[in-house]
Amino acid sequence: MIGCDSFSIDLRKWRQIVAAVIANLAAVTGGMLSSWISPLGPRLTEPDTPVGTEPITESEISILSSATGLTSLFALIFYALSAGKISTKVQAWIIAISGIGGWLLILFAQNFYYLLIARILAGVVCGLTFSMMPVYVTEIAEDSIRGALGSLLSFGINIGGFLSFILGATLNYHTFAVCGLIVPVMFIVGFVFLPESPAYFMRKGFIDNATRSLMWLRNNDQTVVDRELKLLKKQFTSDSVKIGGIKDLFRNRGTIKTLMISLTLYAGQHFGGYAIIFSYTGMIFEKANRGSVAVSADDSLLVIAGIQIIGSLIPTFTMDHLGRRKLIISSCLGITTCHVAFGIYLLLQSRGYDLSSVAWIPLVAVSGFGVVYCAGLGPGTSIVTSECFGPDIVSLGISISLAAEFLSNFFTTLAFPFVSSQFGMHVSFFILAACPVVTMTIIFCILPETKGRSKVAIAQQLNCQEKEDDDNAVNLNDNGIGKNAL
């Protein structure tokens, strides 16, 4: 068990833990490939640029920064159309080849176009990883540790970003690229030895293969395997093995609720300020530190990235103990508190008050945002979404929700500098403070607790159906351990 009380790991589940860690090396790859432009971008514009003979222009840096997000949208479309038809193994190879190709292009780049293709490949890595890996980890993990293992996606992304900031600041350009290349190689070498998820085989009707996959993942515990096969057979009926279309997202009360939950959470991440905080760190701290002892944007970014990693560890020990619902709601409340504090600071600053004695507030508020976001809303979004969507629509639902996330990222980062320049940055932060309240309200009203529950039981509650006798769900005690196993 991974739990808050004992901080211990049930060694019977070590294979699931290893599989989830290896799978989320893809998230580390995506985190590094999407963020390397931040520490290395300034070097590319210098006269002694490490790429080619001519410096990269500021407009070209802007194009490189935006290319990844656009390609991610196309990767989401590919995933939505191919999920259930193309195996996880094949998709993992696509991620690895794209990641390796991206770093090789960065390493041997001769001009801007090498880097542009590398950024396009980074979009493939991010789009497939953020959509595929939550589903894969949910399908291989037992209900009692599904939240802890699902939180590794957010942790991996933050580790990747932090590594980029650290390595970019300490290594030369080419050595940094070599270090980045190591991660996708490790990912695909490890993933080769992992089984397909049991759910993938059940979709194909390969029950014997699903049994073998479960036997490996459950450390050859026949009792657990028999119980989970029974649940899988109930979950994968003749209707559910078909890949659903758009209309299936609205076929009943449960799927409509799930879509609302998913869109709210994914869009809520960026309307709550995630992309803004890390896209405009320099602008924010330049404004906040005016007239006081300045904390450089580079130092602040390193501090915040490090704090994000600490925050990402929190759900590993709490997601399956406190539950997803409580953590997400608490996270939204914490985000609002941090933004209100920062907004008040900026408002008082704009009115001419001397704030030199509390010049620490901006760094603390933004760092606090990093902790509470990574402890709840960040990892909880992908975990809850992959748990609530049915097996026939999970790929489509996540793809649509991620598309909403990328669009909300685009609109919020576009609007932030405009609103800040026209009305003051304090107004922007007060608006950011209001958005998590909306997210929290919707989640409070329609999201059931999914901790330690089978997808069958979750679907029943979303549809307001009576719970069935628990041959259909594993009964868990407060620590996430099956009661019948005690």
Q: Tell me which of 477 and 54 has the higher pLDDT.
A: 54
pLDDT on residue 460: 87
pLDDT on residue 42: 79
Domains of the chain, CATH where assigned = 1-241 (1.20.1250.20), 246-486 (1.20.1250.20)
pTM of the predicted model, to two decimals? Answer: 0.76
Q: Residues 358-380: what's their mean pLDDT?
A: 87
Average pLDDT along the chain: 83
Which tens digit of pLDDT belongs to each residue from 59-106? 787 788 777 877 888 888 888 777 667 888 999 999 999 999 999 999
Q: Tell me which of 470 and 342 has the higher pLDDT.
A: 342
Give percent above pLDDT 70 in the chain. 87
Which tens digit of pLDDT belongs to each residue from 410-428? 788 778 888 888 999 999 9
Residue 295 has pLDDT above 70, yes or no: no
Least confident of 139-153, 197-211, 226-240, 262-276: 226-240
pLDDT on residue 296: 59
Which tens digit of pLDDT belongs to each residue from 98-133? 999 999 999 999 999 999 999 999 989 998 998 889
Residue 43 — pLDDT band, cuts 50, 70, 90? confident
HEC secondary structure over the chain: CCCCCCCCCCHHHHHHHHHHHHHCHHHHHHHHHHHCHHHHHHHHCCCCCCCCCCCCCHHHHHHHHHHHHHHHHHHHHHHHHHECCECHHHHHHHHHHHHHHHHHHHHCCCCHHHHHHHHHHHHHHHHHHHHHHHHHHHHHCCHHHHHHHHCHHHHHHHHHHHHHHHHHHHCCHHHHHHHHHHHHHHHHHHHCCCCCCHHHHHHHCCHHHHHHHHHHHCCCCHHHHHHHHHHHHHHCCCCCCCCCCHHHHHCCHHHHHHHHHHHHHHHHHHHCCHHHHHHCHHHHHHHHCCCCCCCCHHHHHHHHHHHHHHHHHHHHHHCCCCCHHHHHHHHHHHHHHHHHHHHHHHHHHHCCCCCHHHCCHHHHHHHHHHHHHHHHHHHHHHHHHHHHCCCCCHHHHHHHHHHHHHHHHHHHHHHHHHHHHHHCHHHHHHHHHHHHHHHHHHHHHHCCCCCCCCHHHHHHHHCCCCCCCCCCCCCECCCCCEHHHC
Residue 480 — pLDDT band, cuts 50, 70, 90? very low
Residue 8 has pLDDT above 50, yes or no: no
Residue 135 has pLDDT above 50, yes or no: yes
pLDDT on residue 11: 60
pLDDT on residue 333: 96
pLDDT on residue 10: 58
Least confident of 1-15, 303-317, 384-398: 1-15
Residue 318 has pLDDT above 90, yes or no: no
Q: Tell me which of 359 and 330 has the higher pLDDT.
A: 330
Residue 215 — pLDDT band, cuts 50, 70, 90? very high
Residue 320 has pLDDT above 90, yes or no: no
Residue 298 has pLDDT above 80, yes or no: no
